[in-house]
């Protein structure tokens, strides 16, 4: 999602809430599943959202908030 000023702000406003939910899911199931299952959930929910279009928005000024959220987990 690109806005008329060619920034990634609107894309980040959509992605950050989805990533927050994915973080919550990973933290919630952590005590109940194996490490392999946890990695599978991470890659299917969190990593797939980040990976989509990262080649385009990875250098934007808004990417720091995404990568901080990733390190939070």
Q: Per residue in 13-27, pLDDT tens?
A: 888 898 889 889 889
Q: What is the mean pLDDT of residues 48-62?
A: 76
Range(s) of the domain holding residue 25: 9-72
Assessment of whether the complete model's pTM goes beyond 0.85: no
Q: Does residue 20 belong to any structural domain of this protein? A: yes
In a domain, 3, yes or no: no
Rounded Cα gap, residues 68 and 60, in angstroms: 14
* Tally of CB atoms within 10 A around 66: 20
Mean of all residue pLDDT scores within the chain: 82
Is position 2 within any domain?
Answer: no
Per-residue confidence (pLDDT) for residue 13, from 0 to 100: 84
């Amino acid at each position: 999602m690109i806005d008329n000023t060619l920034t990634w702000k609107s894309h980040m406003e959509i992605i950050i809430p989805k990533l927050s939910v994915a973080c919550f899911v990973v933290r919630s199931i952590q005590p109940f599943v194996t490490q392999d299952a946890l990695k599978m959930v991470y890659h299917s929910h969190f990593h797939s959202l980040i990976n989509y279009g990262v080649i385009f928005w990875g250098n934007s000024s808004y990417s720091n908030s995404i990568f901080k959220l990733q390190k939070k987990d």
